[in-house]
Amino acid sequence: MKYNVFLPLSALVALSLLSILVSLHILPPGQEILENITKHLDSGFYFIVFIIILLESILYVGFYFPGQFFAVVLVVGANPSPLGIAYMTIAMVLAATLGSGINFFLGKRFGNTSVQSQQTKLKHLLLAMIHINSLAFFMFAQGADNKSSKVILFAGLLNLPYYLLLIAGTAILSEQVMAMAENPYFLFTAVFIWLIVAAYFDFKKAAQKNKHG
């Protein structure tokens, strides 16, 4: 990407717009839609989990659907067996990986493609995986910067222990921690910090360019 601030700025605009539309009752809350999905589907529990995580994993769409929180609520209600935990983990990992692939190729198709293709550093991927929304923007940037599509596979492999711990941890942490993670104020704060950091790197890059230019 030419400027680091582009993605966090667009994320802040999208998150603000969605929050305004929901508060004005122009759009129904994303959680309400997810609840309606589960009510009208008596079977296909793992398919529902797959769809919920897929929706949240897609760029910008994830700000509207609190997928991980709602999936945790479903897990708590289902009280799954060890085999059920395995099935849920597989469903979530497949959904998140598919979402990463969609975001990567969206970036490749619509992003400001770079002429250089450097290997993605593992620490950057691990940092992006703090939240599914940050992973979505990271994957978009990877595609836009013409990075290797292998990063999608790496993210999928890292998602295996992540979602396994997420599901198993609900018995101890229940819904409180996930409720904080999906809180709009938390998301606004995280995106705003991201914007400040990105602006700093852009300023530093411009200063170095002017110094050597």
Task: List Cβ<8 Å contacts ≥24 apart for 123-128.
Answer: 125/151, 125/154, 125/155, 125/158, 126/158
Which residues make Cβ contacts (< 8 Å) with residue 145, sequence separation at least 6? 1, 107, 111, 113, 114, 116, 117
SS3 for 76-140 is: HHHCCCHHHHHHHHHHHHHHHHHHHHHHHHHHHHHCCCCCCCCCCCHHHHHHHCCCHHHHHHHHH
In a domain, 209, yes or no: no
Q: Which residue type sits at 53? A: I
In a domain, 71, yes or no: yes
In a domain, 213, yes or no: no
In a domain, 212, yes or no: no
Domain residues for 53?
6-204
Which residues make Cβ contacts (< 8 Å) with residue 114, sequence separation at least 6? 1, 144, 145, 146
In a domain, 182, yes or no: yes
In a domain, 138, yes or no: yes
- pLDDT for the residue numbered 53: 87
Which pTM was predicted? 0.66
- pLDDT for the residue numbered 41: 57
Domains held by the chain: number:
1
- Average pLDDT across each block of 10 residues of the chain; the chain has 213 residues. List them in order: 63 75 79 67 76 86 73 67 82 92 90 58 73 84 86 88 75 55 67 74 71 63
In a domain, 144, yes or no: yes
SS3 for 185-199 is: HHHHHHHHHHHHHHH
- pLDDT for the residue numbered 135: 86
- pLDDT for the residue numbered 65: 73
